[in-house]
Amino acid sequence: MTDKTKVAIIGSGNIGTDLMMKIIRLSDTLEMCVMVGIDPQSDGLACASRLGVATTHEGIHGLVAMAQFADIKIVFDATSAGAHRRNSEIVLGAGKRMIDLTPAAIGPYTVPPVNGDDNLDAENVNMVTCGGQATIPIVHAVNRVARVHYAEIVASIASASAGPGTRANIDEFTETTSQAIAKIGGARRGKAIIVLNPAEPPLIMRDTVYCLCEDGDRGAIRQSVEDMVAEVRTYVPGYRLKQVVQFEHIGSNRPLRIPEMDGEFTGLKVSIFLEVEGAAHYLPSYAGNLDIMTSAAMKTGEKIALRLRQGVAV
């Protein structure tokens, strides 16, 4: 496709820079037009300049003042939840579409293999969090076979991959992910925990998913999870199961009692252990949290771009 849809990225940190590299290297649909930051010395702005991408260090107001802004159709926001609320008002007011990579959650939650086609007409879509993108597809995979009453996820990422925006949004991360586990994953209740692992050398992203669900066909649950992993791998090649899906029957003789659930639980506990290795477009391969977030955002951006061009469902 020669006539690509022009996009801008607000946020020249780890997430925004990784997304820029993906769009430039991989997308046949999107054209990287402007990289926006607030630190003139940031590595992201320097990378953009070396690659021939227009830049501004004057934030959203610098973007709006640029001549290129008129031709931009989609703006990705990789800043922070607080900044996104201000950015969204300005971008949407200018008639542009916005893809939110912060936990602000102004627009509808979007997880490509679960509801990737549902929000293509929304002005602002939210990509939940990196932990959400890695684990919500799995909760959904279990729930489509056996009703999930409670799902808990633990996302462990290398401290070196967590920039200042991520660190400032830990509370928003847990709240947004927990809500999306229920709303998109299908669990009655959800809980999210993030761990910033300071180990050296840095460790690859690991995600653990625990689902308490109704008794169901274990083979069907395992197959559903494996099918979902294969689907996510179509756009995140480093996404994989670390071991086979684990099952434990919780009987009435030893019911579970946890604060997030009403009363006692009996049924099936399903444990899924994941690893996400990054494609190393910007940071090294340990930064799988960047890879799954930016890959999901780019995939969503490409679908929205096709929607804008064709005016029909994609």
Distance CA 46, CA 216 (A): 53
Any idea what DSSP says for residue 114? H
Alpha helices in the chain (DSSP H): 14-26, 43-50, 59-65, 81-93, 112-115, 130-143, 164-168, 170-183, 218-233, 288-310
- Reply yes or no on whether 47 is catalytic: no
Of 33, 47, 130, 211, catalytic:
130
Provide the 10 A C-beta neighbour count for residue 276: 29
Closest by Cα among 117, 149, 148, 115 to 133: 115
Encoded tokens for 295:
């890959």
| Distant-in-sequence, close-in-space partners of 12: CB < 8 Å, separation ≥ 6 | 35, 36, 37, 39, 42, 43, 44, 45, 48, 55
CA dihedral for 165, 168, 169, 170, sign (positive or negative): positive
Q: How far is CA 32 from CA 11, 144, 304, in A?
A: 14, 37, 15
> What end-to-end distance do the CA atoms of the chain give, in Å?
16
Burial of 109 (0-12, 13-18, 19+ CB in 10 A): buried
Q: What SS3 class is residue 173?
A: helix
Would you please indicate which residues are annotated as catalytic (active-site) residues? 130
